[in-house]
Chains A and B, each alone.
Chain A
Amino acid sequence: MGKVELGGIIKEINLQLVPDAKENDYVLVHVGVAISIVDEEEAKSSLQFLKQMNELDELYNSESEEEMTKEERIKQGDAIISKMIP
């Protein structure tokens, strides 16, 4: 059991199904049982969806507007892949 604040009310809820929940986490509570921990990164990224989508569209559009040489494409691919390696 643990305490959560629900819109200003402190309530005892069951935490059995979210063993990783820590103090100050936001949890999804359903009928007295916490069933998920809200993922902060995902929460932010879903709010950014439109912005990211427009950026992607711009990228695609710019690609289609100017024909790239094979060499350029490979370079661009390399650049993206290299970002993924820490």
Chain B
Amino acid sequence: MKYLTEYRDPVLAGQYLEEIKKTVTRPWTIMEVCGGQTHSLVKYGLLQMLPKEITMVHGPGCPVCVTPTHLIDRAIYLAKENNVIMCSFGDMLRVPGSEKSLLQAKAEGADVRILYSPLEAVKLAQQNPDKEVIFFAVGFETTAPANALSVIQAHQLGLKNYSIIASHVLVPPAMEALLSDPETVVQAFLAAGHVCTIMGNSEYYPIVEKYKVPIVVTGFEPIDLLHGILMVVRQLEKGEYKLENQYARVVREGGNIPAQEAIMEIFEISNRMWRGMDVIPQSGLEVKEKYAVYDATKKFNVPLKETKENESCIAGAIMKGLKKPLDCINFGTACKPLHPLGAPMVSSEGSCATYYHFYSALNEAEKVEA
């Protein structure tokens, strides 16, 4: 396939690795922000191939993972109502709330459906005028335009039975939160290429300046990741800090303007709780008052009990890059993708689930090294 296989070429990958080895002289800790990038790094075995000096830590870039428990509880409560069709992306259904997941609610008879796109939920609302169709709209900036378009479409169609639970998080404020944490170990970032596809690069210049940290906007294929790492390491070794774009075939400097307009039409920026982390100022998107009839959290009254997290889960430290999934005593024992204790074990983009999935390969590699 064009523009895909070329970026998985093992010979070229070897050349990049060679160049990285030649460039690196000291230990560096680099965070890849996006869970999709974590997945590729582990899946293609790149973590083991990188020189020992380079430590990749895995960022909080899994929107499903950072969705607060109280929103999941809310979705489960609503899903159990008689006239509701609750829909979301597949990963979201398996995330444990404080008592159960949406998938368990489905097993108990709730009408919960996995959809590929929020626009399908609008169709579903059209086809089922006697039902309330609620889309659990989770995502980063990448997904926000599609969710916004669903509300715009519902509005244009005059639908009264479509609403969303917006669980939208923004990447740059989270990067700032990580950098301003005195415990931080992160010296450079691979920024999430698809987030920048929407928003462009402008938000990252102030972060580069303020924290003197190199940021390279990076894609998701093995060659992209190695290229991004090489660009970051070259900056680090030279003592430079600037924003570079490795993923220019998809990311334009100004981002996608129609997509930004769709987001700003429907959403406004708000403070947001990140599961496993904390409230991060100005790090989320909420449905504007003007479109409140499409906001399920305002449309339906949900009596909420206090939510609780599993105390033995170290998701927070993992998402801040302070711990690795293998550091957790519950990894692969009490906590597995089928019975996750915390969110990073649930989504395929969660770092714990990624490690679990490729664990035997990781294990083999470690044995060989030892």
Listed in ascending order, the chain A residues whose CB lies under 8 Å from chain B are 7, 14, 16-19, 26, 28, 30-33, 35-36, 38-40, 42-43, 45-47, 49-50, 53
Please tell me if the beta carbons of A39 and B249 are within 8 angstroms of each other in the complex. Answer: yes
The contact of A32 among B3, B16, B120, B262, by CB within 8 Å, is B120
Which secondary structure characterizes the binding site on chain A?
mixed
The contact of B3 among A18, A26, A31, A49, by CB within 8 Å, is A26
A31 with B258, Cβ < 8 A, contacts A38-B250, A39-B248 known: no
Please tell me if the beta carbons of A17 and B116 are within 8 angstroms of each other in the complex. Answer: no
Please tell me if the beta carbons of B142 and A38 are within 8 angstroms of each other in the complex. Answer: no
Please tell me if the beta carbons of B146 and A32 are within 8 angstroms of each other in the complex. Answer: yes
Please tell me if the beta carbons of A32 and B250 are within 8 angstroms of each other in the complex. Answer: no
B32 shortest CB reach to chain A, Å: 18
Which of chain B's residues 178-236 have a Cβ closer than 8 Å to chain A?
A: 194, 197-198, 223-224, 227
Please tell me if the beta carbons of B15 and A36 are within 8 angstroms of each other in the complex. Answer: no
A35 with B198, Cβ < 8 A, contacts A47-B12, A50-B19 known: yes
Q: Chain A contacts of B241 at CB under 8 A?
A: none
Please tell me if the beta carbons of A32 and B256 are within 8 angstroms of each other in the complex. Answer: no
Minimum CB distance partner of A44 in chain B: B249
On chain B, which size bracket covers the interface?
A: 35 or more
Q: Chain B contacts of A53 at CB under 8 A?
A: 19
The contact of A39 among B120, B143, B250, B258, by CB within 8 Å, is B250
> Any chain A CB within 8 A of the CB of B119?
yes
Q: Given contacts A26-B2, A32-B117, could you give 13 more A-B pairs where the C-beta distance is less than 8 Å? A: A16-B258, A17-B149, A30-B146, A35-B142, A35-B197, A38-B3, A39-B248, A43-B3, A43-B249, A46-B224, A46-B249, A50-B12, A50-B16
Minimum CB distance partner of A41 in chain B: B249
Minimum CB distance partner of B15 in chain A: A50
A30 with B143, Cβ < 8 A, contacts A7-B1, A36-B256, A46-B248 known: yes
A75 to B223, CA, bound (A): 38
Which of chain B's residues 127-148 have a Cβ closer than 8 Å to chain A?
A: 139, 142-143, 145-146
Minimum CB distance partner of B89 in chain A: A31
Please tell me if the beta carbons of A17 and B259 are within 8 angstroms of each other in the complex. Answer: yes
Produce 1/0 per residue, B96-136, CB < 8 A to A.
Answer: 00000000000000000000111110000000000000000
A49 to B2, CA, bound (A): 18
Minimum CB distance partner of A33 in chain B: B146
Please tell me if the beta carbons of B116 and A32 are within 8 angstroms of each other in the complex. Answer: yes
Which of chain B's residues 244-278 have a Cβ closer than 8 Å to chain A?
A: 246-252, 256, 258-259, 262
Which of chain B's residues 1-58 have a Cβ closer than 8 Å to chain A?
A: 1-3, 6-7, 12, 15-16, 19
A57 to B218, CA, bound (A): 23
Question: What are 8 residue pairs bridging A and B, where the CB atoms are less than 8 Å apart in the complex?
Answer: A14-B119, A14-B146, A28-B197, A32-B117, A33-B146, A35-B198, A46-B247, A47-B7
A41 to B256, CA, bound (A): 19
Q: Chain A contacts of B19 at CB under 8 A?
A: 50, 53
Q: Chain A contacts of B149 at CB under 8 A?
A: 14, 16-17, 33
Q: Chain B contacts of A28 at CB under 8 A?
A: 194, 197, 250
Minimum CB distance partner of B120 in chain A: A32
Q: Chain A contacts of B258 at CB under 8 A?
A: 16-19
Of residues B3, B7, B224, which shows the largest number of chain A Cβ atoms within 10 Å of its Cβ?
B3
Please tell me if the beta carbons of B246 and A31 are within 8 angstroms of each other in the complex. Answer: no
The contact of A17 among B139, B247, B262, by CB within 8 Å, is B262
Minimum CB distance partner of A5 in chain B: B1
A33 with B12, Cβ < 8 A, contacts A7-B1, A16-B258, A42-B249 known: no
Q: Chain B contacts of A14 at CB under 8 A?
A: 117, 119, 146, 149
